[in-house]
């Protein structure tokens, strides 16, 4: 009986392992990297995971975020179509694997990785969210080698690249990357266009920090700024302002409900997000977002 059980478990695992890896490979095999030109020397790459910003020129390629490791070859091929230079610097907007999963591959090809100091710390530590959701510590080569606390500037390819830390927003290590001469802003996951943001409370994120980060971006941009969101298509100041207003309204409503003593169930039933239910079609559904806001405001 016991032997039979063991056999079944072993067989189950043997069947499961190749199945899981094949489906993961499949998922990335189908991904196409699409390149959109923003200026003479700045491009955005869409694939699976966070949007990638690319600045090209004679000083080498500067890359912002790198999606998942299995996509590194495709991403390199897409970059090779717009520049003959190697990736010299790679900036991570934060530590999540859909933005930094390619770090090891690009570092091995010679890229120097930069990020806010909490990105390095969190990648080095890893995170157990639940028994099923474990992010192991990243290998040393994948870690940022140059880190900063509040801000950092690079002066390459005729551009000033400003990486500015915004506090406790999506995580505790977010940076918004602004290139003022070209008027392009990469917001990382401090902006999920037209969908609810993931606010990673376990990584130091908060709703109030998130709204502050949106306000920070609004302070940097003007009507002409091309805004690269962490997820979603290209955006602009008007859309960003509308998004800030949505989050700010939801935050005010839920905070008022909490101060009146409403609990999570009552808040969900009151449907304070009703005008924007379509925002729940992405990674974060309506209930999850409301739960996160309640949790963040109750801290």
Q: What tokens were used for 50?
A: 């966070």
Segment 234-273, which members bind Zn ion (CB under 5 A)? none
Answer yes or no whether residue 174 interacts with Zn ion by CB under 5 A. no
**Ranges of H-type helices in the chain:** 2-29, 72-80, 97-100, 103-108, 117-125, 207-220, 237-259, 264-270, 286-298
Residues near Zn ion (CB under 5 A), total: 2
Q: What is the rounded distance in angstroms from the CA atom of residue 173 to the CA atom of residue 101?
A: 16
- Considering the complex, what minimum distance in angstroms separates the CB of residue 55 from Zn ion? 21
For Zn ion, give the closer residue by CB, 159 or 174: 174
Burial of 217 (0-12, 13-18, 19+ CB in 10 A): buried
For Zn ion, give the closer residue by CB, 233 or 271: 233
CA 114 to chain centroid: 15
Q: What is the 3-state secondary structure (H, E, C) of 143-182?
A: CCCEEECCEEEEEECCEEEEEEECCCCCCCCCEEEEECCC
- Considering the complex, what minimum distance in angstroms separates the CB of residue 3 from Zn ion? 46
Q: What tokens were used for 85?
A: 């230079």
Nearest alpha-carbon partner for 144 in 107, 105, 187: 107
- Considering the complex, what minimum distance in angstroms separates the CB of residue 173 from Zn ion? 10
- Considering the complex, what minimum distance in angstroms separates the CB of residue 170 from Zn ion? 6
For Zn ion, give the closer residue by CB, 172 or 189: 189
**At which residue do the structure tokens 């859309």 appear?**
239
Task: Show the site string, 151-170: x = touches Zn ion by CB under 5 A, - = not.
Answer: --------------------
Answer yes or no whether residue 96 interacts with Zn ion by CB under 5 A. yes
For Zn ion, give the closer residue by CB, 159 or 189: 189
Kindly indicate which of the ranges 12-20, 188-196, 218-226, 245-253 contains the residues binding Zn ion, using the contact rule CB under 5 A: 188-196
Count other Cβ atoms within 10 Å, centred on residue 4.
Answer: 8
Task: Show the site string, 76-95: x = touches Zn ion by CB under 5 A, - = not.
Answer: --------------------
Answer yes or no whether residue 189 interacts with Zn ion by CB under 5 A. yes
Interacting residue ranges for Zn ion, rule: CB under 5 A: 96, 189
């Amino acid at each position: 009986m016991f032997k039979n059980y063991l056999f079944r478990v072993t067989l189950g695992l043997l069947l499961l392992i190749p199945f899981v890896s094949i489906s993961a490979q499949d998922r990335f095999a189908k991904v196409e990297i699409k390149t959109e030109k923003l200026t003479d020397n700045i491009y955005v790459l869409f694939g699976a995971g966070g949007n990638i910003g690319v600045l090209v020129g004679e000083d080498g390629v500067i890359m912002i975020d790198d999606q998942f490791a299995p996509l590194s070859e495709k991403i390199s091929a897409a970059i090779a179509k717009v520049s003959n230079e190697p990736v010299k610097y790679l900036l991570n907007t934060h530590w999540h694997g859909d933005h930094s999963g390619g770090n090891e591959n690009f570092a091995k090809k010679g890229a120097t990785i930069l990020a806010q100091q909490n990105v390095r710390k969190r990648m080095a530590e890893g995170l157990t969210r639940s028994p099923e959701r474990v992010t192991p510590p990243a290998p040393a080569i994948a870690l940022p080698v140059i880190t900063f606390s509040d801000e950092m500037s690079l002066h390459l390819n005729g551009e000033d690249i400003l990486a500015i830390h915004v506090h406790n927003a999506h995580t505790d290590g977010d940076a918004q990357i602004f290139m003022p001469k070209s008027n392009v802003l990469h917001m990382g996951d401090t902006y999920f266009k037209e969908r609810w943001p993931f606010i990673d409370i376990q990584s130091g994120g908060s709703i109030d920090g998130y709204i502050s980060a949106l306000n920070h971006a609004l302070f940097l941009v003007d009507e002409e700024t091309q805004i690269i969101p962490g997820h979603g298509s290209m955006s602009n100041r008007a859309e960003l302002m509308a998004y800030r207003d949505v989050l700010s309204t939801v935050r005010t409503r839920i905070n008022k409900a909490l101060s009146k003593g409403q609990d999570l169930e009552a808040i969900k039933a009151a449907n304070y997000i009703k005008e924007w239910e379509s925002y729940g079609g992405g990674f974060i559904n309506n209930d999850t977002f409301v739960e996160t806001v309640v949790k963040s405001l109750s801290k």
